């Protein structure tokens, strides 16, 4: 980026960020750490252990009356939770621009107070630990727009019929509903009731229980009977038609994959989504049974900005899907469906661990390519993912601040570098049977609950009976991967000598196998901080192929 462009860009960021200061910190970082500085308030609101968060959400029951003409919602959120300690107050997340009309409570209220993007609820008396509380919050408004992102995207299809899609990952689910915006606390069940004008269809997560009618709208009652992470709650409105794809699951039970496409795209969607059962079969083989058959499996045509697709649990949002294909597969669909295992079933404990969602979903694209198309395509995908890595910020971010990994380019490494780390683990383990068995076991062990990076590491080490701790430390906690410095000495008549060493400090027990490909043969070297030498036959080219051993950077010395 040239300087003038950079200045203009920073000015734009500054102006737009003033509209919403929390975005600014991701750009104004010190060169040393590249990590944003979080305010005291960020830490209060984002903490997993804040005493005012000491309640366990049991269910959300969310009714949204959608007004496409006014581009606003009137909604009621019923949150049922259990107190985890005896206390007289709690708080919820709720974006400041949404209008709060009323709060009712099953426990007598003293008062409520809004501060920034939170609602503090004070009860008349301390509520004993274990008490179940039901809050009913009535509100309305239009979710605010930050840069070009907003929770609810009000659009029109090409027939000028309203077409509304939602997505809150990054921006935060509290931009469209009051909730507890922490990944670690998933409700056990959830109801989403979407009220829409006649002629439109409301689609949300889970199974359609019923449709009721009022004089002015049809209400679609959707039920999720599984835990669901909070940014997955979503709804979509449009001129939808439902299609079905038959699929015999991994246990040979006949299932349906449902497609909600715009009516005028019915034929296109019917052909396009023939790939869905193929993808599902490979993913079930990789990771075990699809976790949400009880809630169904839906793919919904959406119109999210920038062509964004989303892993909304049991209701995958696909934008501009028909245009994107490689060998008849839309790999973004592979990615989003992979999130049903990595992100939706096994959920990061904190937004700091979000690489677990994106790294695994992205890596699944390569694994699917390998299983569906062959080894060459795996290599091609890995080569592709190894590019566009910033190596500026560690993959694991600070905990307890609801780190937003989706704002700044430097944080996008949770995708590609996440892939390269997992690929490195696989190559270094050098035992595919054990690697894939371990991934399946992770899925089984952490099914429908949260997992920290640390828990994943401990589990992976135990299952493989190897200590990969130094790899986790280097690839996830440091901004830069290992740097291999090498020099080729061609001064001898009968051979060439490769000199090599790690150029930067690494943990003493960091033992990485590196392969040197020399014509038809490969040789393994074990670099350290000390210079080492490998003699190779004269006149033969050699290369380091990271698709064979893992992700490192290289520095060639010509002296
Ligand atoms: Zn993703």
* Domains along the sequence of the chain with CATH: 3-32 (no CATH), 50-238 (2.60.40.1730), 349-477 (1.10.390.10), 483-557 (2.60.40)
For residue 2, the model assigns a pLDDT of: 37
CA 103 → CA 92, 114, 119, 120, distances in Å? 12, 12, 10, 11
Query: Which pairing describes strands 152-156 and 162-166: parallel, antiparallel, or unpaired?
Result: antiparallel
For residue 343, the model assigns a pLDDT of: 98
How many whole angstroms from 281 Cα to the centroid of ligand 1?
Answer: 20
Residues 196-218: tens digit of each pLDDT: 999 999 999 999 999 999 999 99
Distance in angstroms (rounded) separating the CA atoms of residues 333 and 343:
15
The answer to whether 301 touches 261, Cβ cutoff 8 Å, is yes
How many whole angstroms from 433 Cα to the centroid of ligand 1?
Answer: 26
3-state secondary structure at position 335: helix
How many whole angstroms from 355 Cα to the centroid of ligand 1?
Answer: 9
The answer to whether 383 touches 24, Cβ cutoff 8 Å, is no
How many whole angstroms from 251 Cα to the centroid of ligand 1?
Answer: 27
How many whole angstroms from 365 Cα to the centroid of ligand 1?
Answer: 11
How many whole angstroms from 72 Cα to the centroid of ligand 1?
Answer: 28
Tokens matching residue 390: 């910033």
Residue with tokens 């000028």: 160
Q: What global pTM score does this model have?
A: 0.95
How many whole angstroms from 168 Cα to the centroid of ligand 1?
Answer: 13
Q: Shortest CA distance to 484 belongs to which of 518, 444, 523, 513?
A: 513
Residues 226-262: tens digit of each pLDDT: 999 999 999 999 999 999 999 999 999 999 999 999 9
Tokens matching residue 79: 């949150």
How many whole angstroms from 99 Cα to the centroid of ligand 1?
Answer: 31
How many whole angstroms from 240 Cα to the centroid of ligand 1?
Answer: 24
The answer to whether 517 touches 447, Cβ cutoff 8 Å, is no
Q: What is the 3-state secondary structure (H, E, C) of 180-217?
A: CCCCCCCCCEEEEEEEEECCCEEEECCEEEEEEECCCE
Residues 436-476: tens digit of each pLDDT: 999 999 999 999 999 999 999 999 999 999 999 999 999 99
Q: For the packed helices 432-445 and 275-287, what is the interaxial angle rounded to 10 degrees?
A: 90
357 class by beta-carbon count within 10 Å (0-12 exposed, 13-18 middle, 19+ buried): buried
Distance in angstroms (rounded) separating the CA atoms of residues 320 and 304:
9
How many whole angstroms from 487 Cα to the centroid of ligand 1?
Answer: 39
For residue 21, the model assigns a pLDDT of: 58
How many whole angstroms from 137 Cα to the centroid of ligand 1?
Answer: 31
The answer to whether 400 touches 43, Cβ cutoff 8 Å, is yes
Residues 84-114: tens digit of each pLDDT: 999 999 999 999 999 999 999 999 999 999 9
Tokens matching residue 540: 């033969």
3-state secondary structure at position 255: strand
How many whole angstroms from 415 Cα to the centroid of ligand 1?
Answer: 8
Q: Shortest CA distance to 225 belongs to which of 265, 190, 260, 200?
A: 190
Out of 195-209, 269-283, 323-337, 533-547, which region has the weakest mean confidence (pLDDT)?
533-547
How many whole angstroms from 404 Cα to the centroid of ligand 1?
Answer: 14
How many whole angstroms from 236 Cα to the centroid of ligand 1?
Answer: 19
The answer to whether 368 touches 458, Cβ cutoff 8 Å, is no
Q: Give the helix/strand (H/E) hosting 56.
A: strand 55-67
How many whole angstroms from 328 Cα to the centroid of ligand 1?
Answer: 20
Average pLDDT, the chain: 94
How many whole angstroms from 161 Cα to the centroid of ligand 1?
Answer: 29
Where does the pLDDT of residue 72 fall: very low under 50, low under 70, confident under 90, or very high at 90 and above? very high
How many whole angstroms from 358 Cα to the centroid of ligand 1?
Answer: 5
How many whole angstroms from 409 Cα to the centroid of ligand 1?
Answer: 15
How many whole angstroms from 307 Cα to the centroid of ligand 1?
Answer: 13
Residues 362-406: tens digit of each pLDDT: 999 999 999 999 999 999 999 999 999 999 999 999 999 999 999
How many whole angstroms from 405 Cα to the centroid of ligand 1?
Answer: 11
353 class by beta-carbon count within 10 Å (0-12 exposed, 13-18 middle, 19+ buried): buried
Distance in angstroms (rounded) separating the CA atoms of residues 46 and 347:
17
How many whole angstroms from 98 Cα to the centroid of ligand 1?
Answer: 28
Output the DSSP codes for 97-153. TSEEEEEEESS-EEEEEEETTEEEEEEEEEEPTT-EEEEEEEEEE---EETTEESEE
Q: Give the helix/strand (H/E) hosting 423.
A: helix 413-429
How many whole angstroms from 474 Cα to the centroid of ligand 1?
Answer: 23
């Amino acid at each position: 980026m040239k300087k003038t462009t950079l200045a203009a860009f920073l000015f734009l960021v500054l102006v737009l960020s003033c509209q919403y200061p929390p975005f600014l910190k991701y750009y104004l970082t010190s060169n040393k750490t590249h990590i944003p500085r979080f305010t005291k308030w960020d830490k209060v609101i984002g903490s997993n252990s804040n005493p005012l968060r000491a309640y366990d959400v049991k269910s959300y029951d969310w009714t949204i009356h959608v007004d496409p003409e006014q581009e606003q919602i009137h909604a009621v959120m019923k949150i049922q939770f259990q107190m985890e300690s005896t206390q007289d107050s709690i708080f919820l997340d709720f974006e400041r621009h949404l209008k709060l009309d009323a709060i009712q409570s099953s426990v007598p209220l003293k008062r409520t107070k809004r501060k920034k993007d939170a609602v503090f609820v004070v009860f008349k008396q301390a509520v004993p630990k274990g008490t179940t509380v039901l809050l009913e919050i009535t509100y309305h408004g239009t979710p605010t727009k930050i840069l070009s992102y907003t929770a609810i995207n009000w659009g029109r299809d090409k027939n000028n019929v309203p077409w509304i899609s939602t997505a809150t990952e990054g921006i935060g689910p509290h931009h469209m509903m009051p909730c507890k915006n922490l990944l670690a606390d998933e409700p056990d069940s959830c109801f989403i009731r979407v009220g829409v004008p006649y002629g439109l269809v409301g689609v949300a997560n889970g199974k359609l229980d019923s449709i009721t009618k009022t004089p002015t709208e049809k209400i679609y009652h959707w039920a999720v009977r599984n835990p669901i992470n909070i940014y997955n709650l979503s709804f979509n409105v449009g001129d939808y038609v439902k299609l079905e794809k038959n699929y015999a699951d991994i246990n040979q039970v006949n299932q349906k994959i449902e497609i909600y496409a715009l009516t005028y795209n019915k034929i296109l969607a019917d052909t396009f989504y023939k790939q869905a059962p193929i993808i599902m079969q490979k993913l079930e083989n990789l990771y075990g049974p699809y976790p949400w058959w009880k809630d169904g499996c839906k793919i919904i045509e959406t119109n999210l900005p920038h062509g964004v697709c989303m892993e909304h649990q049991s209701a995958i949002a696909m934008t501009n899907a028909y245009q994107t294909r490689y060998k008849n597969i839309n790999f973004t669909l592979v990615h989003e469906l992979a999130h049903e295992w990595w992100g939706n079933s096994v959920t990061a404990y904190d937004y700091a661990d979000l690489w677990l969602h994106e790294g695994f979903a992205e890596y699944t694209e390569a694994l699917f390519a390998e299983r569906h198309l062959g080894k060459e395509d795996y290599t091609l995908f890995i080569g592709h993912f190894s590019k566009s890595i910033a190596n500026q910020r560690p993959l694991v971010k600070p905990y307890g601040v609801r780190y937003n990994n989706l704002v700044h380019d430097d944080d996008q490494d949770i995708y590609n570098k996440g892939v390269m780390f997992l690929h490195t683990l696989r190559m270094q383990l050098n035992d595919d049977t054990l690697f894939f068995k371990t991934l399946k076991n992770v899925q089984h062990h952490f099914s429908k609950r949260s997992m920290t990076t640390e828990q994943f590491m401990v589990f992976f080490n135990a299952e493989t009976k190897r200590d990969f701790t130094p790899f986790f430390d280097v690839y996830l906690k440091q901004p830069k991967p290992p740097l291999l410095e090498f020099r080729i000495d061609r001064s001898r008549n009968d051979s060439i000598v490769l000199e090599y060493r790690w150029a930067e400090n690494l943990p003493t027990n960091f033992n990485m196998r590196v392969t040197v490909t020399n014509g038809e043969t490969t040789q393994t070297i074990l670099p350290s901080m000390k210079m080492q030498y490998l003699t190779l036959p004269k006149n033969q080219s050699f290369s380091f192929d990271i698709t064979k051993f893992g992700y490192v950077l290289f520095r060639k010395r010509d002296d």
